[in-house]
């Protein structure tokens, strides 16, 4: 019987249809959502402040406040980088003297602390986007353009790519898709590598900025797939398990995990991920697009049913509470996908097959657990 199940599992694995993929986003260096309230604990990165300012992680935002009339810089403590793509969502939240001062949020790339040299790619409060080369005593404007973005009034997604000798700045509103082209770009081979980070500047003491997250990768960060929480270009079991962590987290990252925008990460978000982004059913443990006996074989082999050990989606934790127990069968039953084949968009009806299966399978798991 056991051998039969193994063969069945192998067969299913062989014919498994993989989840659609898009091109990857290079290696993610880090993604900091500032949810842990810490900026200097290496989780996932430590932020090192330079010059005069204050910084803290509050309610999932990084707040940086300028206390001088020049700049306040935070670098990510991950060593020198060559090619980098950096993305953040930010808003300028304090700007005491808009008449006589200027205010910008800018990325730093290929920065060198010794001679205070770097590429700066940023956005002024009036919507001017720019790419500068700066050094200790001056700067040159490599490129600039006026945009209609107003970061004092709206959240803006800002992305800087410094890849090879191509420098580009991307900017868009949060309710819009990522644009196909950068707002400004230029070729420069002056700097080859250095630290990365961002600063708030300049001539505007008392000004502050709020960043929702900071994502850094070694290649251009493209449009992120819905449900691709680890940015690997694929929606997979890894993402289901990341969502499970968010489901039991008292302060989850709503930007990433709250798909129905109700201010919480709940079973409804689970259903959106499984139905709309993975196009499958609750219960499809092997993610072959169907919920059938092959999935029961898989979770049976994992042997985590009511064992009080941590379980993932592939082990049978379909509802995302971290364990595999009868509540997972209840959710799968309610979803109604058992032996319904590949999911098509429709309102599912609970099936009596699954009801019968529920009645017959749970004792089987119990017996295995006792054995
Ligand atoms: Ca993923
Ligand atoms: Ca939600
Ligand atoms: Ca399956
Ligand atoms: Ca569960």
Q: What spacing in Å lies between the alpha carbon of 339 and ligand 4's midpoint?
A: 21
Ligand nearest to the CA of 234: 1
- pLDDT tier, 25 (very low <50, low <70, confident <90, very high otherwise): low
| Ligand 3 ion local residues (Cβ < 5 A) | 284, 286, 288, 290, 295
Task: Give the integer Cα–Cα distance in Å for 298 and 284.
Answer: 10
- pLDDT tier, 371 (very low <50, low <70, confident <90, very high otherwise): very low
pLDDT higher than 60, residue 238? yes
pTM: 0.76
The neighbouring-strand residues paired with 91 are 210
| Ligand 2 ion local residues (Cβ < 5 A) | 258, 260, 262, 269
pLDDT higher than 70, residue 362? no
Q: 157, 201, 163, 159: which is closest to 177 by C-alpha? A: 157
Ligand nearest to the CA of 270: 2
The neighbouring-strand residues paired with 199 are 73, 106
**Range in 98-107, 119-128, 312-321, 352-361 the model is least confident about:** 352-361
Ligand nearest to the CA of 293: 3
Q: What spacing in Å lies between the alpha carbon of 293 and ligand 3's midpoint?
A: 8
Q: 84 versus 33: which is more confidently predicted?
A: 84
Question: What structural domains and CATH numbers belong to the chain?
Answer: 2-21+229-370 (no CATH), 28-217 (2.60.120.560)
pLDDT higher than 80, residue 245? yes
Q: What spacing in Å lies between the alpha carbon of 268 and ligand 1's midpoint?
A: 19
In the prediction, which pLDDT does 361 show? 60
pLDDT higher than 70, residue 324? yes
Task: Give the integer Cα–Cα distance in Å for 72 and 20.
Answer: 43
User: Three-class SS of residue 167?
Assistant: strand
Q: What is the pLDDT of residues 84-139, one digit of tens each?
A: 999 999 999 999 999 889 999 999 999 998 888 999 999 999 999 999 999 988 99
Question: Which token pair is 59?
Answer: 């309610």
Instruction: Please say whether the beta carbons of 64 and 211 come within 8 A.
Output: yes
**Range in 21-30, 73-82, 175-184 the model is least confident about:** 21-30
């Amino acid at each position: 019987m056991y051998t039969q199940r193994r063969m069945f599992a192998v067969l299913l694995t062989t014919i498994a249809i993989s989840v659609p993929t898009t091109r990857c986003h290079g290696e993610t260096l880090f993604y900091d959502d500032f949810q842990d309230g810490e900026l200097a604990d290496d989780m996932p990165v430590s932020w090192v402040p330079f010059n005069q300012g204050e910084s803290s992680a509050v309610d999932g935002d990084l707040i940086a406040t300028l206390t001088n009339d020049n700049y306040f810089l935070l670098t990510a403590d991950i060593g020198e980088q060559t090619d980098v793509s950096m993305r953040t969502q930010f808003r300028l939240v304090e700007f005491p003297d808009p008449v006589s001062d200027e205010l910008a949020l800018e990325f730093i790339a290929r920065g060198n602390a010794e001679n205070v040299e770097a590429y700066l790619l940023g956005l002024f409060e009036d919507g001017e986007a720019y790419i500068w080369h700066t050094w200790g005593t001056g700067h040159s404007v490599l490129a600039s353009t006026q945009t209609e973005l107003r970061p004092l009034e709206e959240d803006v997604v800002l992305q800087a790519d410094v890849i090879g000798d191509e420098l580009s700045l991307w900017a868009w509103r949060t309710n819009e898709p990522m644009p196909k082209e950068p707002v400004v770009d230029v070729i420069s081979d002056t700097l080859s590598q250095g630290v990365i980070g961002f600063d708030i500047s300049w001539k505007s003491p008392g000004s502050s900025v709020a960043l929702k997250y900071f994502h850094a990768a070694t290649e251009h960060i493209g449009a992120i797939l819905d449900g691709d929480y680890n940015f690997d270009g694929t929606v997979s079991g890894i993402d289901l398990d990341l969502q499970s962590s968010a489901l039991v987290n008292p302060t989850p990252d709503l930007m990433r995990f709250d798909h129905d925008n109700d201010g919480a990460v709940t079973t409804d978000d689970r259903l959106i991920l499984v139905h709309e982004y993975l196009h499958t059913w609750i219960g499809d443990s092997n993610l072959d697009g169907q919920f059938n006996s092959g999935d029961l074989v898989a979770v049976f082999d994992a042997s985590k049913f009511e064992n009080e050990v941590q379980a993932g989606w592939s082990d049978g934790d379909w509802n995302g509470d971290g364990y595999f127990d009868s509540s997972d069968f209840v959710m799968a039953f309610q979803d109604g996908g058992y032996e319904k084949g590949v999911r098509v968009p429709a309102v599912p009806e609970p099936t009596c097959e699954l009801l019968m299966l529920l009645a017959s399978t749970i004792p089987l798991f119990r017996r295995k657990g006792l054995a």
